[in-house]
Structure 1
Amino acid sequence: MREDIFARMTADTRAVVQKMQAHAVSPPPNADFVQLTRDGYRQVIGLAGDAQEVETVEDHTVPSTPAIPLRLYKPRVEYNDTPLPALVYFHGGGFISGGFDTHDRPLRVLANASGCAIALVDYRLAPESPFPAAPEDCFAGLQWVIEHAQELGINPSKVSVGGDSAGGLLATVVCLMCRDRNASRPIAQILIYPDTDLAINTRSWYELDFLHPAQSRENKLSQIAMYVPNQAEREQPYASPLRAPNLSNLPPALIITAELDPQRDEGEAYAQQLRDAGCLVTHTRYPGVIHGFYQMGGVIASARAAIAEVGAYLQLRHTGAS
């Protein structure tokens, strides 16, 4: 089975996995799991390729308790002072890691590819700030961008949300929160290999979690326990959107999954449930690639293709929005 999985990888993905496995080491006794995870996740920065130039990078603060940092990337496009469409983005990192540095390079590429302003929300992380801190910060970030669109140079009627992995889950939850709270809604949702069910009991979790120790089911369960310490709360829709009893009246979705990703099945199940609820869904499964490939555009060709797909989808949705 494992040999078959390696055979199904793209050549560039196989090279990345072999390098990760060769450099994997057992943590020392009594190691700080959170710090090890955060330090390890930053290693993805070097796989993203060179940082593209964008028009501007602006740091803002969403006034909340506590305040939420937000970074706004504006693309290098000719827009003649016309307000830009925007994507409010939530980074991945297993709910306990990630931030401006881990997602800077892919989002620069996406800003230029889509012609959108990209607003990256630096939401609070677990275990310091467990659920529901992260989704509340992300909801507040989206609402602030829409409310302050004019001063940010953004068209408030053309704002989407998106995220990868844990950030993909947060994007789904923000869409639910906007609907449930009768708040300003995004016009599209971009979900890149999203978490959708914190039970993580799908077949793909048991088949594919061996590819790298950092992406094992055991590690994921440890992260989830920090993010949502109360096990009963993990079944709530704002924690596990796949369990939401009602997914109607949500914005159109682009869902990207990876063939060799432990989170593949839950992302694809969410795509089907959205369709069943009447949501317009575009789903692409990228063959032969692993979880996290979207951030590896410097070494994996499929990452560059996926960013181009997201950019084209955003252009389509924003062109069609009123």
Structure 2
Amino acid sequence: MSDTYDVTLEAGGFDFRVRVYPADTPNGSALVWLHGGAFMFGTLDMPEADQVGRRLSALGTTVISVDYTLAPLDGLSALGPPPEGADAPSPEQMRAEIEAAGPRSRFPVASLQTVAAFDWAVENAAQLGALPTRIALGGASAGGNLSTGATMRLRDRGTSMPSVLALVYPSLHDGIVPANAELTELLKGVPALRIFTPDSRDGINRNYLPDGDDPHGYAFPGGHDVAGFPPVLMVNAELDSLRASGEAFASEMALASVDVHVVRQRGAMHGYLNEIGHPASERTLTLIGNAVAGR
């Protein structure tokens, strides 16, 4: 893989970085990608960001990974007790990550930064080995939310649009979409710490958008008008309470005549892109690579 490099941009009153993963052999496409983390957490070095950049750039797509401004930590209590076990971060590690995150701010800062990162990619498409018309946008979990809200902003602005919107286990509605009987039964076998509940989701969302005022859907696109969206790849984790949101949003897009390809990763839980080598990660990276490259 070619050497990565960082670029500093500004939007929403804050400086932020994007990390560029140049394609080894450019195929004319690029992907602006956003990691997840309940709007409060996440770095460019986490697998959900770095693995996507490294793997897709090796397939010919330049990836622009966005280090957006995170929300304050006031909603941390909504996530419940920290995980336990050998893989759990130590208090020292958690403090180091929090201190390294830099300034924090709520909606709309990260949303505006997502648009700015996409605009930068379009403006610099030639040096990225891509065509301006083949810049995709996407993300995982909260990053899926941000990339979808940014697509709404771009549509309403009436200028360049993403060639593809790639969403992986996204959180798209303000609140938990009720699980159907099949999902409810499956979630009984999922550890409680891996499940978003109505209370935890509400705490996260109100931390991001305290008053819940979202007339345009830029904060939580679910339930809003999605007509005019580009083709969408929607990849949901089967054992994830947020799957209901992804599936409901896919239905909303289909009803609005948006081309949408919905995939359920069987046996996978939320956040699997952070597990390098996970079978669902491998399948999802291939799906994203093919969608962005137009295959």
Shorter-normalised TM range: 0.7 to 0.9
Select which of 219, 225, 237 maps to 2:217.
Answer: 237
2:43 equivalent to 1:99: yes
Cross-structure match for 2:275: 296
Deviation for aligned residue 1:63? 3.6
Counterpart of 1:163 in structure 2 is 139
Contact 1:131 1:228 survives alignment (8 Å): yes
Render the CA deviation track for 1:120-166: whole Å, top value 9, x for unaligned.
Answer: 11111112311111111101111111122234443212101010011
TM normalised by structure 2 equals 0.80
> Hey, which bits of structure 1, 4+ residues long, moved more than 6 A?
204-207
Query: Which residue number corresponds to residue 162 of structure 2?
Result: 186
Deviations, residues 13-69 of structure 1 (Å, cap 9, x unaligned): xxxxxxxxxxxxxxxxxxxxxxxxxxxxxxxxxxxxxxxxx2220111124332221
Contact 2:8 2:15 (8 Å CA) reproduced = yes
Q: Which amino acid aligns with 1:305?
A: R
1:225 shift after superposition: 2.0
TM-superposed deviation, 1:247: 1.2
CA 1:296–1:154: 2 relative to 1, 3 Å: same
Residue matched to 1:125: 70
Using the size of structure 1 for normalisation, the TM-score is 0.74
C-alpha displacement of 1:235:
6.6
Q: Identity rate of aligned residues, in percent?
A: 31
Task: Pick the structure with more helix per residue.
Answer: 1
Matches of residues 154-233 of structure 1 in structure 2 within 5 Å? Answer: 154-203=130-179, 208=187, 211-213=191-193, 215-217=195-197, 218-231=199-212, 233=213
1:201 positional shift: 3.8
Structure 1 residues 269 and 201, CA gap change in structure 2 (3 angstroms): closer
Q: 2:237 aligns with which of 219, 242, 258?
A: 258
Whole-Å Cα distance in 1 between the matches of residues 267 and 259 of structure 2?
26
Distance in 2 of aligned mates of 1:211 and 1:110: 31
Q: How does 1:1-322 map to 2 (within 5 A)?
A: 54-64=1-11, 65-77=13-25, 79=26, 84-102=28-46, 103-113=49-59, 115-127=60-72, 128-203=104-179, 208=187, 211-213=191-193, 215-217=195-197, 218-231=199-212, 233=213, 236-244=216-224, 246-298=225-277, 300-316=278-294
Unaligned stretches of 5+ residues in structure 2: 73-103
Larger Rg: 1
Work out the number of aligned pairs and report it: 256
Q: Is the 8 A contact 1:198 1:234 kept in 2?
A: no
In structure 1, stretches of 5+ residues that fail to align are: 1-53, 318-322
1:227-258 Cα offsets, whole Å, 9 max, x none, are: 11113x257511221121x2111100000011
